Chain A
Amino acid sequence: MIRFQNVTKKYAKTVALNNLSFEVDKGECCVLLGPSGCGKSTSLKLINRLIEPTAGDIFVNGENVSSVVPEQLRRSVGYVIQNVGLFPHLNVAENIATVPKLLKWDKARVHSRVEELLHLFRMSPQSYCDRYPHQLSGGEAQRVGVARALAADPAILLMDEPFGALDPVIRDALQAEFRHIQQDLKKTVVFVTHDVDEAIRLATKIAVINHGEIVQYDLVENILTRPAHPFISQFFGEDRALKRLARLSVKQFLRKTSGEATKIDTDSALKLEDSGKDALVKMIGHKLMSVPVVDDDSQLLGEIHLEDIINS
């Protein structure tokens, strides 16, 4: 869906990107991950032609972006910028309606789309439509920023450190929300971050970038288990095995119980939506080699064994 082909971008002295080639498939969330100044934002802005490459080509839907009128291209690609960038003089509804209005949708359609998006982000239209950006919390403003990017239902969404400025608790909530929404919408997402945990949490594939070059581009699982370069092991840290576990569901380790349903009530029990990391935490906390898994009615479903986690 998005393809970089030998893309180089030079500024006067610096080489921001050096001969970048990679491809993002439809419905994937590709995270560009790397230290500050490595060229992540530059890569993103090349896609909607906010920046023109020095050499190489970028294709969106098989079409070379240099042959598309920039304004038209940008209206068909959602874009969430680093510092939200809501229009301070427009209210929430007007902010979200920006691209639909540029596309000359009729009023009724714009209106119902705005409401639909606010519902999607669990913000009630009655209380949010008329608010101005300064009347929103950081998390709400960022939700509106993402809603605005999704307004015209673009197939592609570009996000530049969208949750970077939020405090950890809110960031966590928004990441979870974004994952949830992405499962439904299946957008092709290019997501920029320097936060390893965020990348692991949201990505289908991660492109690790350093000094304007891709060090490794692979599925998250592969990057965590088979780092291709010392830079990656270092960047992801010693605890990358734990980070990987955090991505895995307890379902993967579950040894189902046979026999009759039993009700158990203990705080060492796990739920199905917990992660492998949660299981490990429980085991350590309760000094157990295995812990039970229950459903929402506390009915026993099975057990997780430490050896399964270690051997995964």
Chain B
Amino acid sequence: MIVRRLQKIEFSGWKSIAIVGLLFGLLVFNMHLVEPLLQSFFPDLDRHLYDRASFLKLVIEHLLLVISSGILATLVGVLCGILVTRRGGRDFLAVMNSMASLGQTFPPLAVLALLVPMVGFGAKPTIVALFVYGLFPIVRNTIAGLESVPRGPMEAAQGMGMAPLQILARVEMPLSLPLIIAGIRTSMIINIGTATLGATIGAGGLGAPIVAGLIGENPAYVVQGAVLVGLLAILVDLLLGRLDRVEKGYGVR
């Protein structure tokens, strides 16, 4: 009975989304509620609440960084994945795979350092760095998704007279969508964390309290930024996970 109830909580996705979302919203709008807690943890500090910008503004900045780079990475990543799995593009499949993984092994901090002299400080270099960093999971999963489409439906589609683009749109994309969404999800989660680096070059976001805390030796600031980043990552992960499951609906046995 208890086990069953636990499972119910575990799997009823919307419930956990509501809980995490509520907690996140509470902290964003009412961080002062946890001030006593911070005071008891860090009694030596004279300031506990980060107040140089509202948390709402930081969250919005953060999301703008992640979403704009995510949209770019999704467009480019899916397009690249499609191109290298076409008949004419197969030769580039290996190159594309290694290029995308190279993008991810390159430290984002180094990308930022290289970009600032070229495009200046702020959001722009951060978005580019996040784009490069988030591209790999999307490219990899798009390729894996398209390659996993079973031969039967492919041959049927061709044999019934679908043109290559129709096969792509009506058979290949729908069947590889769950994997592509999983790639976008991974990419977004990684970049919600990575985007905190943007604060070092003035892009704002939830990295700001972390950076301010590091410089001003105020761990309470760091905790506020880090907790919000963590909750945001979990929230987005849960939301995209729902999308994934809705998409897979037809496959549920």
Residue positions of A touching B, CB distance < 8 A: 48, 50, 70-76, 79, 81-89, 98-99, 102, 132, 134, 148-149
Contacts and interface: CB of A to CB of B under 8 A. Distances in A.
A149 to B, nearest CB: 8
Contacts of A102: 160-162, 166
Interface residues of B, number: 20
B46 interface: no
Contacts of B83: none
A71 B150 CA distance: 21
B152 A74 contact: no
Contacts of A84: 152
A48 B152 contact: no
B171 interface: yes
Contacts of B166: 102
Contacts of A86: 152-153, 156
Interface string B144-169: 00000010111111111111001000
B88 interface: no
Given A82-B152, A87-B157, A148-B156, 8 more contacts: A48-B159, A75-B161, A87-B171, A88-B150, A88-B250, A89-B250, A98-B157, A102-B160
28 contacts: A48-B159, A50-B155, A70-B161, A72-B161, A74-B158, A74-B160, A75-B161, A79-B159, A79-B160, A81-B159, A82-B152, A83-B152, A85-B152, A85-B153, A86-B152, A86-B153, A87-B156, A87-B157, A87-B171, A88-B175, A89-B250, A98-B162, A99-B160, A102-B160, A102-B166, A134-B253, A148-B156, A148-B160
A50 B174 CA distance: 23
Nearest to B248: A89
A256 B169 CA distance: 64
Contact of B251 (A50, A134, A148, A149): A134
B162 A71 contact: yes
Given A79-B156, A87-B153, A88-B153, A99 B161 contact: yes
Contacts of B174: 89
Contacts of B175: 88-89
A46 B162 CA distance: 17
Contacts of B152: 81-86
A81 B154 CA distance: 11
Nearest to B158: A50
A200 B241 CA distance: 53
Nearest to B162: A102
B150 to A, nearest CB: 8
A71 B161 CA distance: 4
Contacts of B250: 88-89, 132
Contacts of B156: 79, 81, 85-87, 148
B60 to A, nearest CB: 36
B169 to A, nearest CB: 12
**Which 7 pairs between the two chains have the least Cβ-Cβ distance?**
A85-B152, A74-B161, A85-B156, A75-B161, A79-B159, A71-B161, A89-B174
A128 to B, nearest CB: 15
B160 A75 contact: yes
B201 to A, nearest CB: 44
A133 to B, nearest CB: 9
B170 to A, nearest CB: 8
Interface string B39-57: 0000000000000000000
Query: Which of B154, B158, B159 has its CB near the most chain A CB atoms (within 10 A)?
Result: B159
A39 B152 CA distance: 19
A44 to B, nearest CB: 10
B251 A88 contact: yes
Contacts of A88: 150, 153, 175, 250-251
Contact of B155 (A70, A85, A149): A85
Contact of B161 (A73, A81, A89, A134): A73
Interface in B85-139: none
B250 to A, nearest CB: 5
Query: Which of A72, A76, A83 has its CB near the most chain B CB atoms (within 10 A)?
Result: A83
Nearest to A76: B161
A30 to B, nearest CB: 18
A72 B160 CA distance: 9
Contacts of A82: 152
B159 A74 contact: yes
Nearest to A70: B161
A83 B151 CA distance: 9
A75 B161 CA distance: 5
B148 to A, nearest CB: 12
A87 B157 CA distance: 8
Nearest to A102: B161
B239 to A, nearest CB: 22
B159 A98 contact: no
Contacts of B162: 71, 98, 102
A79 B152 CA distance: 12
